Amino acid sequence: MTDMVDFNSPDFLDELSWKSEYDIGDELIDSSHRRLFAVLRRVLMILQDGDSARNRNICRDAVKFLEAYTVKHFAEEEGFQRKIGYGGYKMHKALHDNLREVTLPSLKIELENNDYSNESIEAFISIFIGWLTGHIMVEDKAITGKVSSRWPNYSNEDDIDNLNKEVHELMAHVFRRKARLANRHYAGENLTKGIFYCMNFVGEDDSHYEVTFFAEEPVIFLMAGGLLGKEVFKLEKNAFMSYLQMVQSMSIRIVHMMYPVSNAVLKGAKKETEESLRMKFKDGYPDVSVMWRVPEGRIGICVEKID
């Protein structure tokens, strides 16, 4: 995860310059990546002049370009993977599909809903650049064997769909909010201040599982208030305990849904930091990791069987 970018910082423009370490070794793919960096850098330079009306139009055009160009670039990159018989093709394509069909449309909705405010533009650029650099440095380099993919296994799409249904029903029926899927393969990208809670489960065969539930503070206030039947603006003991009980109950349902033969039981729960959540993505990614957005902010769930 990264902090929100300050695109008025000259240091950030330097960081957005193409670096040789981003090269994966195929000229067609590397040239496409360089163009994406060049477009984002050019957009940032224009946005620095502070003309809100112009920035809105520039950002609209940039989003349209990115939507079209990622389709072209992903097709070329996937063609290269098929040509060389890349073993991680199926998962890699799922990551491309997720950005193109879920993440970019979600960010576009946020831009339009907020009338292309500076804050929403910053969020869009921060998340897109974070995804792009992380994807190039790990998943794209894995194509040519320079590093190992952090998504070694193709995620069970049925698990993701079922988890998505659980969250949609919870938010709609209990909290009267529509949860919009923001990322089917969340990998630790930008998240603002929130609370992170990890539930530990043990199965009958001594197998171990973890469910990490995280939510930004306004979403937690919404959930705690909905459970208590009153408005909540800070997490006092009763509010937090109500939220925690709901999270634990949902985690039990999720583990039994994803690992039905385990008969796993909840053995412990602990509050985590943002840094501890980030560490979950350092060497390898969870079995399923999904993020949603409601009007108040974002929520996410990571589920993993621990060897």
Average pLDDT, 10 consecutive residues per value, the chain (307 residues): 48 70 88 86 73 78 86 92 91 89 88 83 78 84 82 74 91 91 83 84 94 92 88 82 90 92 92 80 82 92 88
Do 28 and 95 lie in one domain? The reply is: yes
Instruction: For residue 86, give its domain range.
Output: 10-143
Do 132 and 185 lie in one domain? The reply is: no
**Domain end call among 97, 117, 143:** 143
Do 162 and 280 lie in one domain? The reply is: yes
Quick one: pLDDT at residue 4? 44
Q: What's this model's pTM, rounded to 2 decimal places?
A: 0.78
Residue 2 belongs to some domain of the structure: no
Do 105 and 189 lie in one domain? The reply is: no
Evaluated on CA atoms 173, 296, 110, 160, the torsion sign reads negative
Residue 5 belongs to some domain of the structure: no
Tell me which residue of 240, 216, 214, 242 sits closest to 227, measured CA to CA: 242
Do 162 and 300 lie in one domain? The reply is: yes
**157 CB-near residues (< 8 Å, 6+ apart):** 94
Quick one: pLDDT at residue 165? 92
Q: How does DSSP classify residue 185? A: B
Do 171 and 296 lie in one domain? The reply is: yes
Residue 70: Cβ within 10 Å count: 19
Do 193 and 292 lie in one domain? The reply is: yes
Quick one: pLDDT at residue 199? 94
Do 252 and 294 lie in one domain? The reply is: yes
Quick one: pLDDT at residue 252? 93
Residue 151 belongs to some domain of the structure: no
Residue 16, exposed/middle/buried by CB under 10 A (0-12, 13-18, 19+)? buried
**Domain end call among 111, 143, 175:** 143
pLDDT tens per residue across span 89-127: 988 998 899 889 998 888 888 888 888 887 787 778 777
DSSP 3-state assignment of 245? helix
Do 38 and 165 lie in one domain? The reply is: no
Write out the two tokens for 23: 């090269």
Residue 197 sits in a domain of what CATH number? Answer: 3.40.1550.10
Quick one: pLDDT at residue 202? 95
Total domains, the chain: 2
Residue 58 sits in a domain of what CATH number? Answer: 1.20.120.50
Do 61 and 173 lie in one domain? The reply is: no
Residue 1 belongs to some domain of the structure: no
Do 263 and 169 lie in one domain? The reply is: yes
Q: How does DSSP classify residue 281? A: T
Do 173 and 128 lie in one domain? The reply is: no
Q: Write out the H or E segment, with its range, that includes residue 73.
A: helix 52-84
Provide the residue type at 35 as one letter.
R
Sheet strands side by side (includes 297-306): 180-183, 288-294, 297-306, 208-216, 194-202, 265-272
